[in-house]
Structure 1
Amino acid sequence: MPTMNAPHTLDNPPALSPRMVRRAIVASVLGSGLEWFDFLVYGYFAKIIAQVFFPADKPFISISLTLATFAIGFLVRPIGGILLGIYADRAGRRRALAVLIVTMAASTLLMGLTPSYATIGIAAPLLIVLARLLQGMSVGGQFATASAMLVEYAPPGKKMFYGSFNMSAQSFALLLSSGTGWLLTTHLTHAQLVAWGWRVPFLMGSLAGPIGFYIRHRVAESPEFSQLREHASTTQRQTVRAFFRENTDAVICAMGIIIVGAATNYAWHSYLPLYAERQLHLPLSTALVGAFVSGVLNLGLFPLAGKLCDRYGAYRLFYPVVIAWIIVAYPLFGFVIASPSPAHLFIAQMVSTLFLAAMSGSHPGMLATLFPVRNRSTGVALSYNVAVTLFGGLAPLTITSLTHWTGSSYTPAFYLIVAGVVSLAMVFFTKSGRDPVPLAQEGSAATQ
């Protein structure tokens, strides 16, 4: 239970015991990690899912339908994010996080248990699409709700560091999904994978459900939201028009912050296994090993990036890192394409991991501190999900289509360069990006 040290006001949020803080952080990270595992693992088994649920005469059509279903999960993310964001801003971070984790577990279980197209016909791909829609709705609210909860638990001057644990949760999901994929693809035959092996990670992912119930009943609400709710008589719920009037600049800035990281993440992690097989003619296990190591490294690199941003300023590091990534993206792909090999691919993955960590470690803290507590989850969910949908979720389908039409193996590099330029422009030309709230003022700004 919360430990009350002193009467709390708008400038003095309720204090929680160190045990409750640790419980909230661990539960949020584990729940978020398993939720992202459920969402990401689809990409690793896209080729097999195409055979099971989307059979077609031409392989390109089959894989395109599978990637389109992958993209559907992203198209509904803004809807799910806004709905769950509104719910989190009204009912609390704890309740919203519990709801979305349980929904993700149920939809992942549906995906793992759905019979093949050969067994039940057109109902099979329809059920997969339904499961993907539910996954998208759920994960749409995850980043915003978990980010808000972690940042609101953070003491002044450590908001980027605490927020970075949400990115570490994604790393946990990456290493868990890639590790599971590697074990299955290296220890099972192709026939076994098609028959039942691909279902294993989806059935594993459904185990996230109990964590949702744990968060609902055993984790305290964030101090800043509790503070706001206790003074609800002095605050009013914003209308949609008022929200955009007051937060449009912050939404544009937040989208700019996210775009380049989302494009990099999904190009190098979700799309790379397919790229390695189809363009580089390397085994799937090669890309999965690199993705697994990247996940392990980012468990520590994301918090390190958060610490550096707390110390030196998140925006002071954002600009030079993104510019450097724009410069490096093309030659990095050239290094791999010129002489495709497991060693070259692994080196490129490690370089991209360092840049991704530097760009994304502070994302939860940067986005959360752009919005006040009363509409923080809504603001973060809207900006994050729109940016990730356009430049992340659609990345595999977009890059695959452009590569098919142009015949160029450098399409992913050009995609990342464009994403980086768009990010820089959107952040630089907003007031929030040019004149961010100083870290020392974040605690007071958050309660506005």
Structure 2
Amino acid sequence: MNDLHTLDDGTLDRSRASSDAAPQLNPRMVRRAIVASVLGSGLEWFDFLVYGYFSKIIAQVFFPSDHAFVSIALTLATFAIGFVVRPIGGILLGIYSDRVGRRRALSVLILAMAASTLLMGLTPSYATIGVAAPLLIVLARLLQGMSVGGQFATASAMLVEYAPPGKKMFYGSFNMSSQAFALLLSSGVGLLLTTQLTHAQLVAWGWRVPFLMGALAGPIGFYIRHRVAESPEFVQLSAHRGAPVKQSVRAFFRDNTDAVICAMGVIIVGAATNYVWHSYLPLYVERQLHLPLSNALVGAFVSGVLNVMLFPLAGKLCDRYGAYRLFYPVVIAWVLVSYPLFSFVVAAPTFAHLFTAQMISTVFLAAMSGSHPGMLATLFPVRNRSTGVALSYNVAVTLFGGLAPLTITSLTQWTGSSLMPAFYLIFAGLVSLAMVFFTKSGRDPAPAARAGSATTH
């Protein structure tokens, strides 16, 4: 029985494969697949985080208003728009990935994300071209939202499908590490710009620099992804089924409703925590704590450094002890800690208190989210893995992540409470616990084993 072999150009020799062959890939190809899978996630998060860091300046440039709250609200609403279309883009690109392969889907995604990031950085200000400026920013966010809708799912599928048995959570964790690296890079660039440039320079051109830098990653990412072999498990599936098989929406939900609900529950608390402590925090630090933006960026930078290492560690622990066995106690602890943590900062808003809280949240975020790509990918069989992960991930992130800055800002304005982020995180944690617990997938201590046996369905 012939195995799959890697050709000199990095592709798989399908002509020598049988339907149930085990692909033989050299270590170089595995490393290349990891880099190709995580590069787009890094670009996605770099852009999102930069938008959050400079939201106050972007509000001045594109959404000028006599009322500061209205200007900020419009900026955050534009941020949220990109998430509203993510489920649509995720489903479409997930279907595309499940039909033609992870490799081709990832190549399309990196170019689309680079184009939207470039548009964000090059759009003239409202003072220059009037209402066309905010419309172009909205267009850029829509394009980005559609493209990144499939990014997490396709990259997670690629990583998990390259992983050897017993290491799927660890391999999947590299998708999260790429987000941590983006946090490190974006906060470092933001800190450099805010400390070295005057406010006038930041408004005039400084805020554009990170977006233009992010756009440069597009061609590099496309080149790397183009030279990666297709996922071994997807190749095996293709050999079994021949031509791509179309699956109706009704059939998908009939077979995967429990997995979708469980996957959304897994993601919600991590998404809320990530966006509150990273995307929303810079605005919170300036408007509620009345501290300089640089205070938040220092902690974000250190958080990025730590999470690059902590996410893989969390993945390894989940491979060893079971992802769901660790999920419940970590989320419960985070629900109990969230309110005291924000109270600690609000009671005496200093850099030391803020930094301490950021480090504690970093450890919890890593413990909760390091295994997310592996947990979600192993809930679905290969034949609709990208679709399932994209749908559950994007709906959860849209409702509890992308809308978090706008929701919390509005609730804070309405209630006058500086502790609204803590209440938001507690609510998200309780929703996650309930959704995972009341599904069969969440109560089964070994869902990955089931998914692994179903990879060729």
TM-score, normalised to structure 2's length? 0.95
> 1:140 aligns to what?
149
Alignment partners' CA distance in 1, 2:224 and 2:257: 32
Q: 1: CA distance between counterparts of 2:48 and 2:424?
A: 22
C-alpha displacement of 1:34: 2.0
Cα distance change of structure 1 residues 440 and 248 upon mapping to structure 2, 3 Å threshold:
closer
Superposition deviation, residue 235 in structure 1: 7.6
Q: Does structure 2 retain, via aligned residues, the 8 Å contact 1:157–1:440? A: no
> What is the Cα deviation at residue 422 of structure 1?
0.2
Q: 323, 347, 350: which is aligned to 1:341?
A: 350
Partner-residue secondary structure (3-state), 1:231: helix
Cα offset for 1:230? 1.6
Deviation at residue 444 of structure 1 after TM alignment: 2.5
Matched, 1:296 2:305: yes
CA distance in 2, matches of 1:203, 1:127: 16
Distance of 2:22 and 2:88 partners within structure 1: 31
Q: Deviations over 1:122-165 (max 9, x none)?
A: 00000000001111111111100000000000000000000000
2:411 is aligned, of 371, 392, 402, to 402
Alignment check: 8 A CA contact 2:107 2:226 kept: no
Structure 2 unmatched ranges of 5 or more = none
> Quick one: which of 211, 216, 240 aligns to 2:220?
211
Please tell me whether residue 95 in structure 1 is matched to residue 104 in structure 2: yes
Q: CA deviation at 1:348?
A: 0.1
Q: Does 2:348 align with 1:356? A: no
Greater shift, 219-228 or 430-439, is seen at: 430-439
CA spacing shift, 1:191–1:102, aligned 2, 3 Å: same
After TM superposition, the structure 1 = structure 2 runs for residues 132-281 of structure 1, keeping only pairs within 5 Å, are 132-233=141-242, 236-281=245-290
- Give the structure 2 partner of residue 70 of structure 1: 79
Instruction: Give the alignment partner of residue 94 of structure 2, picking from 67, 85, 88.
Output: 85
The answer (yes or no) to whether the contact 1:369–1:446 under 8 Å persists in 2 is no
Deviations 1:183-208 (A, max 9, x none): 10010000000000000000001012
Contact 1:163 1:365 in 2 (8 A): yes
User: Which one is further off, 322-331 or 27-36?
Assistant: 27-36
In structure 1, what is the equivalent of residue 435 of structure 2? 426
Deviation at 1:39, TM superposition (A): 2.6
CA offsets 1:265-304 (integer angstroms, 9 cap, x no match): 0000000000000000000000011011101100000000
Asked whether the equivalents of residues 156 and 442 of structure 1 are also in contact (C-alpha less than 8 Å), the reply is no
Instruction: Confirm or deny that 1:287 pairs with 2:296.
Output: yes
SS of alignment partner, residue 258 of structure 1: helix
Give RMSD over aligned pairs.
Answer: 1.6
Unaligned residue ranges in structure 1 (runs of 5+): none
Deviation at 1:51, TM superposition (A): 0.2
The offset of 1:417, in angstroms, is 0.2
The CA distance in 2 between the partners of 1:383 and 1:126, in whole Å, is 29
Measure the CA separation in 1 of the matches of 2:22 and 2:105: 21
Aligned length: 448
Once the two structures are TM-superposed, the CA of residue 8 in structure 1 deviates from its matched residue by 5.3
Question: Aligned letter for 1:82?
Answer: I
Are the aligned partners of 1:144 and 1:380 in contact in 2 as well (CA < 8 Å)?
yes
TM-score when scaled to structure 1?
0.97
Give the AA of the match of 1:64.
A
Distance 2:90 2:451 in 1: 24
Matched residue SS, 1:271: helix
| 2:181 partner amino acid | F
Deviations 1:38-96 (A, max 9, x none): 23211111000000000001000000000000000110110111111011001110111
Give % identity: 84
Cα distance, 1:441–1:252 mapped onto 2, change above 3 Å: closer
User: Secondary structure, in 3 states, of the residue corresponding to 2:89?
Assistant: helix
Cα deviation, 1:209-249, whole Å, max 9, x if unaligned, reads 11342144311101001111122239833111100000000
Which range moves more in the overlay, 385-394 or 234-243?
A: 234-243
SS at match of 2:150: helix
What is the rounded CA distance, in whole Å, between the counterparts of 1:9 and 1:43 in structure 2? 49
**Corresponding residue for residue 399 of structure 2:** 390
Q: Which residue of 2 aligns with 1:2?
A: 6
Q: Deviation digits for residues 378-416 of structure 1, max 9, x if unmatched? A: 000000000000000000000000000000011000000
Aligned to 2:113: 104
